[in-house]
Amino acid sequence: MIRDFIGYGKEKPKIFWPQGNKIAVSFVVNIEEGAELSVSSGDSQNEYVFENNKTKILDTPDLCMESHFEYGLRSGIWRIFDALDKYNIKATFSCCSLALEKSPWLIEEILNRKHEISAHGVKWISHAYFSREEEKKIINDCYSSILKLSGRPPQGWHTKSSTSPFTRDLLIEHGGFIYDSNAYNDDIPYVIRQNDKKFVIIPYSFDTNDMRFDGNNGFVQGDDFNIYCKESFNQLLSETDDGSLRMMSIGLHPRIIGRPGRIKGLEDFIKHIKTYQNVWIPKRIDIAKHCLEKDLFNLF
Cα–Cα distance between 53 and 76 in angstroms, integer? 19
At 40-95, the pLDDT tens digits run: 999 999 988 777 676 788 889 989 999 999 999 999 999 999 999 999 999 999 99
Cα–Cα distance between 22 and 233 in angstroms, integer? 12
Q: Is residue 299 assigned to a domain?
A: no
Nearest to 18 by CA among 279, 297, 285, 298: 279
Q: Is residue 42 assigned to a domain?
A: yes
Structural domain that includes position 110? 18-47+57-293
Q: Is residue 6 assigned to a domain?
A: no
CATH at residue 144: 3.20.20.370
Quote the pTM value: 0.94
pLDDT of residue 4: 87
Q: Is residue 8 assigned to a domain?
A: no
Look at the chain and report how many structural domains it folds into. 1
Cα–Cα distance between 95 and 104 in angstroms, integer? 11
pLDDT of residue 300: 40
148 CB-near residues (< 8 Å, 6+ apart): none
Residue 194: strand pairing partners: 197
Residue 116: strand pairing partners: 92
68 CB-near residues (< 8 Å, 6+ apart): 50, 51, 53, 255
Q: Is residue 52 assigned to a domain?
A: no
pLDDT of residue 92: 98
pLDDT of residue 217: 63
Q: Is residue 137 assigned to a domain?
A: yes
What stretches in the chain show pLDDT beneath 70?
A: 1, 52, 54, 215-217, 295-300
Please say whether the beta carbons of 252 and 147 come within 8 A: no
**How high does pLDDT run on average in the chain?**
93
Q: Is residue 156 assigned to a domain?
A: yes
DSSP assigned state of 53: B
Q: Is residue 11 assigned to a domain?
A: no
Q: What is the per-residue DSSP string for 136-196?
A: HHHHHHHHHHHHHHHSS---EE-PBS---TTHHHHHHHHSS-SEE----S-SS-EEEEETT
At 241-270, the pLDDT tens digits run: 988 899 999 999 999 999 999 999 999 999
